[in-house]
Amino acid sequence: YQTFTGDLKWDHHDVTYRILNYSPDMEESLIDDAFARAFKVWSDVTPLTFTRLYDGTADIMISFGRADHGDPYPFDGKDGLLAHAYPPGEGVQGDAHFDDDEYWTLGTGPVVKTRYGNAEGALCHFPFVFEGKSYSSCTSEGRTDNLPWCATTADYDNDKKYGFCPSELLYTFGGNANGAECVFPFIFLGETYNGCTTEGRNDGYRWCATTNDFDMDKKYGFCPSRDTAVIGGNSEGEPCSFPFVFLGKKYYSCTSEGRGDGKLWCATTNDYDQDKKWGFCPDRGYSLFLVAAHEFGHALGLDHSNIQDALMFPMYSYVEKFSLHKDDIEGIQYLYGPKPGPNPTPPQSTPDPSKQPDTPATTAPTTTTPAPIDPSKDACKVDKFDTITEIDGDLHFFKDGQYWRMSNKGLQGPFFLSERWPALPAVVDAAFQDQLNKKMYFFSGTRFWVYTGQSLLGPRGIDKLGLPKSVSRVEGVLHKGKDKVLLFSGENYWRLVVKDQMVDKMAVTNVVFGGVPSDVTDVFLYKRNMYFVRERFYWRMNVNKQVDRVGYVKYDLLQC
Amino acid sequence: WCLPLSSVFVTFPGDILKNVTDEELADRYLKRFGYMEELQRSGIQFQGSSSKALMKMQRQMGLEETGLLDKPTMAAMKHPRCGVPDVRS
């Protein structure tokens, strides 16, 4: 690893950041989440904390821009340079800039979050089948209003789950119109426009008026990119027009003809030869998370590494399961030191006293030998808990017949489930405490138990709560007011009226919590925040329904 | 076999990434990322001045240090990357 000359670094550990604008390529919540996760890469291994500011000057100001974007280092169109960042300091120092001529995704192709429809904001599922035909992008087939839509499951014909795709006909972002949709035609400087335009701007962003007369109302917003929109070229944001004519020949799909770099392109009108309108076809895109994590490394004081697998290596490569390289950890810890708190200790065999030397050691030990730990009794060694829930104000972590309690005294346990709640099976999928009468509800498979102190009701089938027979288990629970809870299973949840022990008839819906994964394996409420858990990670949503933290269960909640 | 039968290259309007020769691309790359300082280059032929810079770049990128514009080096130069220079003056 390398640091910048003079070991430039922040002189404080509570670093702030602010997102100044967004890319049209992804929904804002997905961009927020990518940045939050990228910061977490560094806060996991240092004493640094990162707080997001919504106005004013932050240490790290994050922005998207194209070509000349206000500093002496212009970007270069699609591919090539992806982003850059400045080492710590005042002014532009510490800031991170992302080239918006890139196609920003999570690294594996379009990430299309839907709005409206009946899928409650789920992501599009590509490909999906509609009327027997397979679609790999949003379509306006089947509609007369031209709105692009997609299915959020593989088979619309069976599941009928759909939502609308990003489109200027549905909403805008940024600007001053609170996200209102474009109004076409609109008038700008006396001219009439029937679509989004880059006229009047020098940054290449497409915009529209949200009333029919911009000259009079001055209301505008930026147009979100459609998933089928081309990137770069001279028609940014327009969809490909198939078939199109190029050098007299008809093309029915993207082509690399005419280019020496092998990049796929298409025309955005039906005749390239005549109109010369074109752009690059959408591809897998670049992972905003990975690029941001790299740039934030610069913003914290790391220069480029020459270790190819290190995050701070200058070239981009996509990795599915990211973990910070030893070289990056050593680099950042050289600047800021390690994260405070005990390190995880490997299990060790119990020393046999008979084999200990009976002569005293000649030098005093510099470290204390950790007490042997039985992995089955160490919560820090558990990769994934069966469920986590708050009981009497303390978090309880359940795993295979045991549970741990995290209180202000620290982590205690493991305790045996059978000692406190003897009727329960070893694996508990979900649990919650009724806030009114402190009864404990436990779910395992298709059964549930209710404990009032030591008296037991159950087990009973979860279908008795009004859950459909198709529900094979309840995976998580969120309190909704004092007398209702939401029971989560898969991507659905139901609202249970606790005193009636019955779910509302019409209250089944898909997960509508923005910014959290749809495939969470546990959900719980703790100190008024909602936690959505997937494997080792959690997404914390505050009372304003904003995801304000993404973290590790092990390090943050268990304080391992 | 994967090349089109009759390749034609056109200049696409608005294309920032123009067709450039390998030498031009390498020259720009070595300069942009700090391997070759501008003063060092003035008035000197590419081949002579850049060999050291190329080797420096090849070392940084984990490539064989040939000092030549070989295929792996050109591929590395075309690879998407961060805009922060690798070498500082």
A-side interface with B, Cβ within 8 Å? 4-5, 67, 73, 75-85, 99, 101-102, 232-234, 247, 256-261, 265, 276, 278, 286, 291, 294-295, 298, 303-304, 306, 308, 314-316
Q: Are A311 and A328 in contact (CB under 8 A)?
A: yes
Distance CA A300, CA A441 (A): 46
Residue in A38, A83, A78 with CA at minimum distance from that of residue A64: A83
- A539 to A488, A513, A518: CA distances (angstroms): 15, 11, 11
- Residue of B78, B79, B81, B89 to mutate, interface with A, max A Cβ within 10 Å: B81
CA dihedral (B22, B28, B34, B35) positive or negative: positive
Chain A residues with beta carbon closer than 8 angstroms to that of B60 = 304, 306, 314
> Is B10 near chain A, with CB under 8 Å?
yes
CA B72 remoteness from chain centre: 11
Residue in A283, A282, A273 with CA at minimum distance from that of residue A244: A273
Residue in A506, A525, A515 with CA at minimum distance from that of residue A121: A515
How high is the pLDDT of residue B1?
41
Nearest-Cα distance to chain A for B78, in Å, is 7
Give the number of residues written for chain B.
Answer: 89
Q: Is B79 exposed, middle or buried (CB count within 10 Å of its CB: 0-12, 13-18, 19+)?
A: middle
| Side-chain-facing half-sphere of A378: CA atoms under 13 Å | 15
Distance CA A31, CA A44 (A): 20
Chain B residues with beta carbon closer than 8 angstroms to that of A79 = 17, 80
| pLDDT digits (tens), chain A, 560 positions | 999 988 899 999 999 999 999 999 998 888 999 999 999 999 999 999 999 898 899 999 999 999 899 999 999 888 899 999 999 999 999 999 999 989 999 998 888 989 989 988 888 988 889 999 888 888 999 999 889 999 999 899 999 999 999 999 999 999 999 999 999 999 999 999 999 998 999 888 899 999 999 999 999 999 998 888 888 888 877 888 888 999 998 888 888 888 877 788 899 999 999 999 999 888 889 999 999 999 999 999 999 999 999 999 999 999 988 999 999 999 999 999 998 875 544 444 444 333 333 333 333 332 223 333 344 568 888 878 999 999 988 999 998 888 999 988 888 888 888 888 888 888 899 999 988 888 999 999 899 999 988 888 878 899 889 888 888 889 999 988 888 899 988 878 888 988 888 888 655 565 567 778 777 889 999 888 899 998 788 888 887 777 778 888 888 888 88
List the single residue in B with minimal CA-CA distance to A76. B16
Nearest-Cα distance to chain A for B37, in Å, is 16
Burial A30-60 (b: 16+ CB within 10 A, else e): bbbbbbbbbbbbbbbbbebebebeeeeebbb
What amino acid occupies position A221?
A: G
Nearest-Cα distance to chain B for A292, in Å, is 10
pLDDT in tens, A49-60: 999 898 899 999
Cα-only R_g, chain A: 27
- Token pair for A483: 């007398």
List the single residue in B with minimal CA-CA distance to A296. B82
CA angle A413, A49, A324 (to 5 degrees): 80
Distance CA B77, CA A76 (A): 14
Distance CA A442, CA A447 (A): 8
Q: Do B88 and A247 touch (CB under 8 A)?
A: no
pLDDT in tens, B25-69: 899 999 999 998 744 545 544 555 678 899 999 999 999 999 999
Strand, helix or coil for residue A274:
helix
Active site residue ranges of A: 295
